[in-house]
């Protein structure tokens, strides 16, 4: 029901960045579908890149559960965290037609490594391609809404990116 893939096989323990592709299979005619993503301490996530609505608790609201959905999120580390395997928890909850509540939980391991161990990572090119496509669509939508051409987006961040983050960050 929930399939997860990451853009990179590892996440750097300090100033690391990765993207996750969460594919939800069709559930059927159900109500109140929510996807809650819980990251371990030291790992952070931004709001989903698809612009799905999220409630105050960070649960992603799924309005059309009878069709497959792809959700993309960015996870990152800021300060140094302990190396090793951590687990991200995905919990999909929904109510069936008879009012029964259902919950599907999927655990996703993420390998946290130091900068020196980032040399031999595996890149999932399909995930990277989908992230880039999503960013292009966002840029096109933004251009349509404003009615004029936009310049290439430059993002200024208060923190400096590491060389590896500059190398592996997915930009549109």
Concatenated DSSP letters of the chain: -EEEEESBSEEETTT-EEEEEEEE----S-EEEEEEEEPPTTEEEPSPTT---B-TT-PEEES-TTS-EEEEEEEEE-S----EEEEEEEEEEEE-TTS-EEEEEEEEEEEEE-GGGGTT--B-HHHHHHHHHHHHHHHHHHHHHHTS--PPP----SSPPPHHHHHH----
Tens of pLDDT, residue by residue over 60-94, are 999 999 999 999 999 999 999 999 999 999 999 99
Tell me what the mean pLDDT of segment 112-136 comes to.
93
Please name each of the domains of the chain with its CATH number. Answer: 2-168 (2.60.40.1670)
The percent of residues above 90 in pLDDT, for the chain, comes to: 70
Tell me what the mean pLDDT of segment 129-134 comes to.
93
Tens of pLDDT, residue by residue over 24-71, are 999 999 999 999 999 999 999 999 999 999 999 999 999 999 999 999
């Amino acid at each position: 029901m929930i399939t997860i893939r990451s853009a990179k096989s590892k996440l750097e323990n300090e100033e690391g960045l990765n993207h996750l592709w969460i594919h939800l299979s069709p559930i059927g005619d159900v109500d109140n579908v929510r996807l809650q993503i819980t990251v371990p301490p030291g790992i952070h996530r931004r709001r989903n890149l698809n612009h799905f609505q999220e409630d105050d608790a960070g649960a992603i609201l799924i309005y059309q559960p009878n069709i497959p959905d792809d959700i993309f999120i960015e996870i990152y580390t800021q300060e140094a965290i302990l190396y090793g395997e951590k687990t991200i928890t995905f919990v999909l909850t929904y109510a069936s037609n008879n009012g029964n509540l259902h919950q599907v939980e999927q655990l996703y391991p993420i390998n946290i490594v130091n900068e020196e161990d980032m040399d031999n990572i595996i890149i999932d090119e399909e995930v990277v391609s989908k992230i880039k496509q999503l960013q292009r669509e966002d840029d096109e939508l933004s251009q349509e809404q404003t009615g004029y051409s936009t310049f290439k987006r430059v993002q200024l961040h208060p923190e400096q990116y590491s060389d590896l983050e500059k190398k592996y960050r997915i930009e549109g």
